Structure 1
Amino acid sequence: MNIRVNNEGELHQAASELLKFAEKEKVFLFEGDMGAGKTTLIKALCFVLGMKETASSPTYSIVNEYVYPGGKIYHFDFFRIKSQNEAFDIGFEEYLASGEYCFIEWPQNISDLWPQNYIKITISEGENGLRNILADKV
């Protein structure tokens, strides 16, 4: 699935499309350059899911936990980890096994820990703020 987003106003529609595409899959791996819009897209996904608070980047905490009407959302940012053992230390495997939404930024830093099934989201930046969002079921 490929989605073009021309501005932030189109993000909620893109998030809705991604959630429909994912069907029952709840683990999303987000790849893209720094500043591509990973956290911004995750905020839109959380909004569409009905979350009342505003999502924020867990760059320093590694994981943020949010509540939405259907359960919990776990938002990970593995940009700053030095080894995959840090993911084990925070209980990453238990989060994945929870059946709740897991939105994972910088998943390449924990590539040995990826689950068998997930939605891979690749965000790339085009001209004039355009974002291309490519989603694959793995």
Structure 2
Amino acid sequence: MHLTIPIASLDDLPQAAAQVQAALGEHKIILLEGEMGAGKTTFIKALCHQLGVPDYVSSPTFALVNEYRDAQNRPIYHFDFYRLDDPQEAINIGAQEYFDSGYLCLIEWPSRVGALLPANRLLLTLTVTGPSSRELRITNEQ
């Protein structure tokens, strides 16, 4: 599956998040790639809101993982591996157990833990196209 969603401004984030939610299907591992400042965490906030997360969603840059609960009280795990020096750090926090949990895992900077990632996943690539516009590409990875 390849789907491209234009995001003209922040006002378009709820609609884009709804499209991603519809595209999730059975996928539980969601990778988010994009340059620094592309809006990965901002998009995750919109997606979590779409999924019914009542909590404040923020980047787990230093903690590496945050846990939220969706509208059905199921966990959602949000990872940010930007500051990871070695994939062993992800192993030490139990990343593989999170990935194998069957719950939604939203992973920023996934290339830093590439060897640890399960095969069946969705890749969301955010590309900056203007001062407040982005393009979101969804790719099914097997």
TM-score by length of 2: 0.94
Shift of 1:114: 1.3
Question: Which of 103, 111, 115 matches 2:114?
Answer: 111
CA distance in 2, matches of 1:97, 1:112: 14
Unaligned 5+ segments in structure 2 are none
1:9 maps to what in 2? 11
Letter matched to residue 74 of structure 1: Y
Q: Is the 8 A contact 2:10 2:132 kept in 1?
A: no
1:96-107 aligned within 5 A: 96-107=99-110
State the identity %. 41
Secondary structure at the counterpart of residue 128 of structure 1: coil
After superposition, the CA RMSD in angstroms is 0.8
Alignment partner, residue 66 of structure 1: 68
TM-score (norm 1): 0.97
**Alignment match of 2:48 (pick from 40, 46, 49):** 46
How far off is 1:68 after superposition? 1.5
- How far, CA to CA, are the matches of 1:54 and 1:16 in structure 2? 19
Helix, strand or coil at the partner of 2:17 = helix
- One of 92, 106, 122 as aligned partner of 2:125: 122
Q: Is the 8 Å Cα contact of residues 30 and 106 (structure 1) preserved in structure 2?
A: yes
Match of residue 57, structure 1, among 50, 59, 72: 59
Q: Secondary structure at the match of 1:135?
A: strand
Q: How many pairs align?
A: 138
> Moved runs in structure 1, 4+ residues, more than 3 A?
none
